[in-house]
Amino acid sequence: MRRLHATLLAVAFGAALAPAAVAYEIDPLTREPIEPYQDTRAKATPVPREEVAYSSKFAPGTIVVSTVERRLYYILGNGRAIRYGVGVGRPGFEWGGTKAITRKAEWPDWTPPPQMLKRRPDLPRHMKGGPENPLGARALYLGSSLYRIHGSNEPETIGQAVSSGCIRMLNDDVVDLYDRVKVGTRVVVVR
């Protein structure tokens, strides 16, 4: 994050960024290098929410997340679904399986888990809900896991693999999904 702020300041004040050796952070879980931040805003394209043809074996009301497509499908039935763009876990933080929504929250507070604080000691220990909060406008908590489907204050990350395992959505989209689902909704994450 500090590197990002330094880069943004340099660009804002017209400083030339000299090519330098890239210092990679090492992920403590996978022992793999973490790619340095790359600004994808210029490359990001909007991922529209839309009703699409979608045949599946899942019951209406099920949420299916395709991490490869970086799309979330809310199954309507009769071969139809609502498709949303999502951000997914970056390399080393991918996961798959079946969970259920165990809690719903509007403008949720955020307390980074100890594992995240170990990787990112610069993060706040707690953050009240609101527009600056990384969980965005709504959060759907998945079982007893650390994962959530939540909004984002970084819309440029939708369609990217950048999270620590959570499924990110545009705030407008997560509000739409939040209004459609209830506690107990089945969520299937496919890799």
- CA-to-CA dists, residue 134 to 23, 77, 117, 138, 149, angstroms: 26, 32, 14, 10, 12
Task: Give the CA angle between residues 34, 145, 171 to the nearest 5°.
Answer: 75
Is 5 among the residues known to form the active site?
no
Residue 3 is given by DSSP the state H
Is 57 among the residues known to form the active site?
no
CA atoms within 13 A on the CB side of 85: 17
Active-site residue identified among 71, 148, 150, 168: 150
Active-site residue identified among 166, 167, 169, 187: 166
- Tokens 């960024």 locate to 17
- Stated as kind and residue range, the H or E segment containing 176 is helix 171-180
Question: Contact at 8 Å (CB) between 142 and 149?
Answer: yes
Catalytic center residues: 150, 166
